[in-house]
């Protein structure tokens, strides 16, 4: 985020400097009209405010907590870049035309600010909606991911056993591991009870593996496989 914002800030500073050069280096008067009269200072104030606003918008867009949110906010950066460049062009014209009426510069600058703000709000809302959906999906898939990881850990523990029935225990743990690995990733409130049973089953399986209790491992494994199958069926029915 810091690197991206620094790059944006560098471009922003260049455009702001360019704008000020156009404002103050161009001739003060032409055809008897003073550049610093009319809309000059009103336009200068509005356009400078627009510059500051675009910088703030870019900072907000790039401060995503993770790469996914930053990626979703990229349209905000494009809009901000475009609005800043447009501000320079329009602002330069307002500053360069001597004795341009105040209201012309104010209306033009206000329109730029208004349209860019609306575009930024719309893009931000769309990005937030996608991010919210992504967060919901992560929450719904959390159980199966955690359960599958726990099954992997139990299987890894079983592979270190030296008992006579170690091979049998390994095979049972492998079945559970694969069943959870390829289980339906989605979850729902209606699955809480069966997921609680699977969680308890994994705890029992771990204790049975630690004790090298082959019979217990086989019994718990069978029950776990049935519960995982039942959960998959309920998941399918809920879709």
Q: Check residue 179 and give its pLDDT.
A: 92
Token couple for 165: 């029935």
| Cα 85 to Cα 215: distance, rounded to the nearest angstrom | 74
pLDDT of the chain, 239 residues: tens digit per residue: 567 678 778 888 888 888 788 777 766 655 445 566 556 676 677 778 777 877 877 777 666 554 445 555 566 667 767 777 777 777 667 666 666 665 666 677 677 777 767 766 766 666 566 655 555 555 556 788 889 999 999 999 999 888 888 899 999 999 999 999 888 887 777 888 999 999 999 999 999 999 999 999 999 999 999 999 999 888 888 76
Long-range contacts of 180-184 (CB under 8 A, 24+ apart): 180/144, 180/147, 180/148, 180/151, 180/228, 181/148, 181/151, 181/152, 183/144, 183/147, 183/148, 183/228, 183/231, 183/232, 184/144, 184/231, 184/232, 184/235, 184/236
Q: Check residue 66 and give its pLDDT.
A: 47
pTM: 0.47
| Cα 95 to Cα 99: distance, rounded to the nearest angstrom | 9
Most distant CA pair in the chain: distance in Å? 105
CA-closest candidate to residue 184, choices 238, 134, 231: 231
CA-closest candidate to residue 182, choices 133, 231, 135: 231
CA-closest candidate to residue 9, choices 61, 44, 75: 61
Q: Check residue 67 and give its pLDDT.
A: 47
Pairing of strands 33-34, 29-30: antiparallel
Residue 40 carries which DSSP code?
H
| Cα 77 to Cα 120: distance, rounded to the nearest angstrom | 9
Query: Would you give the end-to-end CA distance of the chain in angstroms?
Result: 38
Q: Check residue 227 and give its pLDDT.
A: 93
| Cα 120 to Cα 79: distance, rounded to the nearest angstrom | 7
From residue 161, alpha-carbon distances to 104, 153, 170 in Å are 83, 13, 9
């Amino acid at each position: 985020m810091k690197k991206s914002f620094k790059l944006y800030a560098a471009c922003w500073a260049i455009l702001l400097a360019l704008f000020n050069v156009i404002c103050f280096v161009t001739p003060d008067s032409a055809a008897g009209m003073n550049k610093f009269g009319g809309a000059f200072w009103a336009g200068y104030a509005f356009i400078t405010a627009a510059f500051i606003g675009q910088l703030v918008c870019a900072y907000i867009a790039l401060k995503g907590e993770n790469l996914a949110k930053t990626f979703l906010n990229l349209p905000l950066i494009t809009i901000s870049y475009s609005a800043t460049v447009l501000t320079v062009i329009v602002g330069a014209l307002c500053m360069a035309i001597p004795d341009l009426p105040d209201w012309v510069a104010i209306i033009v600058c206000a329109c730029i600010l208004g349209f860019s703000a609306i575009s930024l709000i719309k893009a931000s809302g769309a990005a937030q909606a996608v991010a919210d959906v992504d967060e919901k999906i992560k929450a719904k898939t959390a159980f199966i991911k955690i359960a599958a990881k726990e099954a992997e850990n139990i299987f890894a523990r079983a592979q270190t056993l030296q008992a006579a029935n170690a091979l049998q225990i390994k095979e049972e743990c492998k079945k559970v591991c694969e069943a959870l690995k390829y289980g339906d990733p989605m979850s729902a409130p209606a699955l809480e009870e069966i997921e609680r049973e699977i969680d308890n089953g994994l705890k029992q399986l771990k204790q049975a593996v630690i004790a090298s209790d082959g019979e217990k491992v086989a019994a718990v494994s069978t029950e776990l496989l049935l519960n995982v199958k039942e959960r998959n069926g309920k998941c399918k029915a809920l879709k």
